[in-house]
Structure 1
Amino acid sequence: MQKALLEKAKTLEPRNPNKSTGLFGGKSSGILNWNDIAYPHWYKMYKRLVGNYWQADEINMSSDVKQFATLEKSEQDAYLKIIGLLSTLDAPQTRTALLISLYATDPSVQSIMAVIAQQEAVHNESYSYVLSSVVSLDKQNKSFQFGRKDPVLLKRNENLTKQYNAFVEEPNIENILKTMVYTALLEGMFFYSGFAFFYNLARQNKMVGTSTMISYINRDELEHGRFISELFRATLAENAAYNTAEFTDWVYETFRSSVELELEWSSYVLADVDGIDLDEMSGYIKYRANKMLRMMGLSELYPEHVDNPMKWIRAYVDNIDGTKTDFFEQKSRQYSKTSDLNGFDDL
């Protein structure tokens, strides 16, 4: 099959209809009327995303400032390495979301991806914010070097890096679909051993400010994973020539290899952390992989892991409205925002 390169969507082309004729490679005027879009339910997704607005410096880190020095050395090391991991994953997401929007010929996708890109930028800023709260600039910089230098992390991110860069070099339908697969993995599985570490600290009443921030990132990522999964299914439906057994096998193999790399990483970074059972973590990673496969319209790879083996995590994750996607079902927690009276500058 010839893999024709896609052109970037025109910014404004009044001769084309407002309702796009295709998600990628279609025709659209560039004018967005939310009441006349190809996938009307995506307006609700857009509204949920913009309703999640928050900023990193709204979260009060005063207790974390005092507590970090009292953590076990293994907890401090894991904290810094996991922040390094999360920043390595979130930083490219801002650009990847923008790149997808550049080739999307549906203006509703462009708008939703713009919100996702903005939220990923906030996530990345938040990692700088929490580190600046608890460690010196030298240690902050060292944490942000992990994604470039740590051999286990480099190995873990290698396949994702190759695919994201392939999309930049060859923007065709196949690479967009494959990039969405890795994005769904990133939003729905890659973050979660890291999230679990911070929630484990919080259930011991440690670093609650960091955990609160992570829960808001987690909430965003659940919505991002939901939309990317739907965009993947819709794009595949519109480009049926790619809906082949060969491509499905590639998706399953990508999930398998990604799960193995995630297991290796979590064992490496969490081995000495009290309160996390690595066998349970293994089951949780496979449980998350199953969730994302179902959302993408595929079968589970790990039938023995259909239930969450780490149910305690539910207390730390914000509720996502929508039982059809089977997300966590806990009520939203309140958090303390900083103000002029209790602001970070005064700490």
Structure 2
Amino acid sequence: MVDTYYKAINWNKIEDQVDKATWEKLTSQFWLDTRIPLSNDIDDWRTLSDTEHTLVGHVFGGLTLLDTLQSQDGIEEIRKDIRTQAETAVFNNIQFMESVHAKSYSSIFSTLNTAEEIEEIFEWTDHNEFLQKKAEYINEIYKNGTGLEKKVASVFLETFLFYSGFYTPLYYLGNNKLANVAEIIKLIIRDESVHGTYIGYKFQLGYNELSEEEQSKMQDWMYDLLYKLYDNEEKYTHTLYDDIGWTDEVLVFLRYNANKALMNLGQSPLFPDGNAEDVNPIVMNGVSTGTSNHDFFSQVGNGYLMGKVEAMKDNDYDIGREKK
């Protein structure tokens, strides 16, 4: 018999059932921005002030940059440290959906903004000091970090750093405005929930193989990184929200999501006011990723052709490790 040169993937003999479960969840959640009737939000858009228009544009510009980073560089780097063949397939799906996310923001821009406004949004995005620093911090780890460090950076990005931007559409959704724009954001949040939980699970597998001394060093490194990211994110949040007066509430929301990122990594929460009850309840209600009750022909919700799919829960990938 000839020696094996290239190994075919066998989905009937899976090394880690979490890979199969995640693949099934992600594929059942598949969506495209072209099915969301964004033009139905134009009337709401016209009621918003110039300050609000600028905020929404800059928020989505920042999210576009981060999803571009994740789709073009982040997942590519994380995929270099896979444990199983099926994990590659899962990351292929994740990478594609990150590209869908990045494109979705341009669909929002083309619907709500003029050509001049879109140009300003991307000019701001490409030159905002704190947004660029955020991308640099994460990408430097992608380029130079260990496999475990890359996973930490990815979880912090998807479960924490995105949420300074997500706050805005969730707030408007809670106030019955921009429902279709928010529908896209809820679809993205639903994807990111799975991505962060899955990559956090893969981190925990590797982390549990470390010695106690190595685990301690890794913990110190990730908490130091979180402090650095939070310090920059606080400054970024001020640039976005000071003019509209939402900064303090957004920072609470960020601390809540920073704690969730740590939980995805199997670590203890850091911020004492980072609990769900501390967050604006209007925004927390929007975080729910259930299917919207939209009519299929008039306003396609995030349940189109997919059935009900729930976001990952914190304990979905509990691998029996005692939290420190």
Q: TM-score, normalised by structure 2?
A: 0.83
Matches within 5 A, 1:244-255: 244-255=215-226
- Which one is further off, 136-145 or 286-295? 136-145
Q: Does 1:99 align with 2:74?
A: no
Question: Do the aligned residues in 2 keep the contact of 1:60 with 1:338 (CA within 8 Å)?
Answer: no
The residue that corresponds to 1:150 in the other structure is: 128
Distance between the aligned counterparts of 1:146 and 1:204, measured in 2? Answer: 27
1:315 aligns with 2:297: no
| C-alpha contact (below 8 Å) 1:60/1:336 kept by paired residues | no
Q: Quick one: which of 252, 258, 263 aligns to 1:294?
A: 263
Find the counterpart in structure 1 of residue 248 from structure 2: 279
Which amino acid in structure 2 is aligned with residue 91 of structure 1? T
Q: Aligned pair 1:36/2:13, yes or no?
A: yes
Query: Could you say if the C-alpha distance between residues 34 and 133 of structure 1 is closer, same or farther in structure 2, counting changes exceeding 3 Å?
Result: same
Could you tell me which amino acid in structure 2 is paired with residue 293 of structure 1? Answer: L
Residue 214 (structure 2) pairs with residue 243 (structure 1): yes
One-letter amino acid of the counterpart of residue 70, structure 1: T
1:15 alignment counterpart:
4
CA distance in 1, matches of 2:163, 2:16: 30
User: Cα offset for 1:36?
Assistant: 2.3
- Aligned partners of 1:184 and 1:228 also within 8 Å: yes
Greater shift in the superposed pair: 70-79 or 36-45: 36-45
Deviation at 1:146, TM superposition (A): 2.8
Determine helix, strand or coil for the equivalent of 2:183: helix
Amino acid at match of 1:201: Y
Equivalent AA in structure 2 for residue 40 of structure 1: Q
Q: Among 242, 248, 269, which residue is 2:240 paired with?
A: 269
The answer to whether the 8 Å contact 2:161/2:233 transfers is: yes
- Name the residue aligned to 2:48: 71
Query: Given that residues 45 and 178 in structure 2 are in contact (C-alpha distance below 8 angstroms), is that contact kept between their aligned partners in structure 1?
Result: yes
Contact residue 16 and residue 84 of structure 2 kept, 8 A: no
Counterpart check, 1:135 vs 2:113 = yes
For residues 48 and 70 of structure 2, what CA distance do their matches in structure 1 show?
31
Residue type of the alignment partner of 1:309: D
- 1:283-310 per-residue CA deviation (whole Å, 9 max, x = no partner) reads 2211211111122111221234333422
- The residue matched to 1:116 in structure 2 has which SS? helix
The alpha-carbon deviation at position 30 of structure 1 amounts to: 3.7
1:333 counterpart residue number:
292
**Residues 314 and 306 of structure 1, relative CA distance in 2, 3 Å threshold:** closer
Runs of 4 or more, structure 1, over 6 Å off, are none
> Where do 1:45-194 residues align within 5 Å?
45-95=22-72, 96-104=74-82, 106-166=84-144, 174-194=145-165
List runs of 5+ in structure 1 lacking aligned partners. Answer: 1-12, 17-28, 167-173, 320-330, 340-347
CA RMSD of aligned residues (A): 2.5
Paired residue secondary structure (2:108): helix
Within 1, Cα distance between the matches of 2:81 and 2:45?
44
Shift of 1:253: 0.6
CA contact (8 A) 1:32 1:107 kept: yes
2:14 aligns to what SS in structure 1?
coil
Post-superposition offset of 1:127: 0.7
Among residues 227, 234, 237, which one is paired with 1:256 in the alignment?
Answer: 227
Distance 2:39 2:194 in 1: 29
- Cα distance in structure 1, aligned partners of 2:169 and 2:283: 10
Give the 3-state SS of the residue equivalent to 1:273 in structure 2: coil
One-letter amino acid of the counterpart of residue 255, structure 1: L
For residue 335 of structure 1, report the CA deviation from its aligned partner.
4.1
CA shift, 1:101, in A, is: 2.4
Q: In the alignment, is the contact (CA less than 8 A) between 1:58 and 1:336 conserved in 2? A: no
Q: CA deviation at 1:105?
A: 5.1
CA distance in structure 2 between the aligned counterparts of 1:195 and 1:48, rounded to whole angstroms: 22
Maintained 8 Å contact 2:171/2:286? no
1:226 and 2:197 aligned: yes
Shift of 1:34: 2.8
8 Å Cα contact 2:130/2:233 also seen in 1 = no
Query: Contact 1:201–1:207 (CA<8 Å) still a contact in 2?
Result: yes
Q: 1:335 to 1:186 in 2, by over 3 A?
A: farther
Alignment partners' CA distance in 2, 1:232 and 1:142: 38
